[in-house]
Structure formats: structure tokens, C-alpha cells
Amino acid sequence: MTKKDLVKKISYSTGERQQVVKRIIEETLEHITEAMTRGERVELRKFGVFKISWREAKIARNPKTGEKISISSRKVVKFKSGKFLFKRLNEK
């Protein structure tokens, strides 16, 4: 599902114009991004938690050439699903 698909679905289910829904989604994503940039974890109840984790530098290998390359340390985003999402994903 893309952001465009999400806008269409929410617009259809709420009766709100797509422009308004798109703006709300973009603002939501911007606020989540800002919070994570500040190092905050973002918790969306029943859905899950986004948090920043630190990945150490390492030496890796290019699978095509076999050449060793250095990958610098960096921040990465980790997501842990909430109980509600986990249950919905695993329903039989």
C-alpha cells in the first residue's frame, strides 16, 4: 500500500476530500519524523512502536565482486508491532 492508496481509502471511508486527508497524513508523518530525529520513541497504541537503534560500524563484502567494504556506524529505525496488530497478523 502506498501513501496515495492510503489517502484514497481514508477519503472514501470518511467522506473527507483527498486533499485534506493527504495533508493530515503528511503532517502526521512529519511529526513522527521530527520526534524520531530528536531521539524519541514513537508509540502508536494498538499498532506499534518506532524507536531509534544504533548499528555499529562493520566490514562487509560486496556479493558481486567479493570486495571488502567498510560500513560506518549509523542510526536505524526499528519497529515492534503492538499486541492488536500482532494478533490481527496471526489470526487463522
| pLDDT higher than 80, residue 89 | yes
Q: Per the structure block, which three cell numbers stand in for 92? A: 487463522
Read off the pLDDT of residues 30-42 as tens digits, 9 standing for 90 and up.
Answer: 999 999 999 999 9
Residues 54-70 have a mean pLDDT of: 94
Average pLDDT score, the chain: 96
By the 10 Å C-beta count (0-12 exposed, 13-18 middle, 19+ buried), 12 is classed as exposed
Report the largest interatomic distance among the alpha carbons of the chain, rounded to a whole angstrom: 55
Q: What is the pLDDT of residue 92?
A: 73
